[in-house]
Amino acid sequence: MNQLIDIEVVYGLPHKQVLLSLQVPSGTTIENCIKLSGIVKHFPEIVPSKAIVGIFSKPDKLENTVKQGDRIEIYRPLTADPKEMRKLRAEKAKQAKNN
């Protein structure tokens, strides 16, 4: 019988954040932890098999297993390319400086 370990699953939107604590058998995959957590009840847009995830801000894979105390973070898709946004901010700052 597998030992139970404590983990957390978190997801957030600008207006709503949820952190769920649960116990899972040691050796459970990140994907299965997401399913077991029930976070999809709070955020139906999450598709566990396609989620982009990390453990304590470090990107990880759905098929990897969790360890005692891990916090699985489910990331939202980017709405804009970060490089493009930096470029636009730099151009805007340059224009403001010249005015």
pLDDT at position 78 is 67
Break the chain into its structural domains and give their ranges: 4-98
CATH class of 4-98: alpha beta
Q: b/e map of 51-74 (b: 16 or more CB within 10 Å)?
A: bebebeeeebebeeebeeebebbb
pLDDT at position 7 is 98
pLDDT at position 44 is 95
Q: Where are the beta strands (DSSP E) in the chain?
A: 4-13, 16-25, 52-55, 58-60, 71-75
pTM above 0.85, yes or no: no
**What tens-digit pLDDT sequence spans the chain (99 residues)?**
579 999 999 999 989 999 999 999 999 999 999 999 999 999 999 999 999 999 999 999 999 999 999 999 999 876 667 787 788 888 888 888 776
